[in-house]
Amino acid sequence: MTTARDIMHTGAQCIGAHQTLDEAARMMRDMHVGALPICGDDQKLHGIITDRDIVLRCVAEGKNPAEMTAMDLAGHLHCVRAEDSMETVLKKMEQHQIRRIPVIDGERLVGMISEADLAMGHREGHRLTDEQIIKFMDSVYMKQ
């Protein structure tokens, strides 16, 4: 059985809950990513922030990204466990129409799964079928 651990990418770097959105944007730019997990002072995962969140919920609303913190935009957190099956991962991403999902082991962040990871897993034969990929794409992109 293919698990989240098999397909995730490791080395996800957190933005601190109290760091500002302009710091988050610079981190995303420097790391060439579109999302960052948010970790609190307790080093536990508290949320996730995307480049889209910063643009739509801060900049477009005339708020100052140098004053807003990552936690100001953190919504409900969806994550998967490292041992969860790929069916569970796909179902959760489809159900919540999300393109990236943090992977935890216990309460510790161990990686992230993005739609690019799903595509690479499919290409590398990690038992993701054409049907699973098509269903995921339909769920995430067609319902918006």
The mean per-residue pLDDT over the stretch 35-54 comes to 91
DSSP labels, 53-115: HHHHHTGGGT--TTT-BHHHH------EETT-BHHHHHHHHHHHT-SEEEEEETTEEEEEEEH
Averaging pLDDT over each range in 38-42, 53-57, 132-136, which range is the top one?
53-57
Angle made by CA atoms 30, 34, 39, in degrees to the nearest 5: 85
What are the pLDDT digits (tens) for 15-33? 999 999 999 999 999 999 9
Question: Which pLDDT score, from 0 to 100, does residue 129 have?
Answer: 74
Domain at 4-142, CATH homologous superfamily: CBS-domain (3.10.580.10)
What are the pLDDT digits (tens) for 53-73? 999 999 999 999 999 999 999
The mean per-residue pLDDT over the stretch 134-139 comes to 82
Instruction: Give 89's pLDDT tier (boundaries 50, 70, 90).
Output: very high
The mean per-residue pLDDT over the stretch 87-114 comes to 91
* 69 vs 9, higher pLDDT: 69
Question: Which pLDDT score, from 0 to 100, does residue 54 have?
Answer: 97
Question: Which pLDDT score, from 0 to 100, does residue 126 have?
Answer: 57
Instruction: Give 123's pLDDT tier (boundaries 50, 70, 90).
Output: low
Mean pLDDT taken over the chain: 89
Is the pLDDT at 133 greater than 80, yes or no?
A: no
For the chain, domain boundaries: 4-142
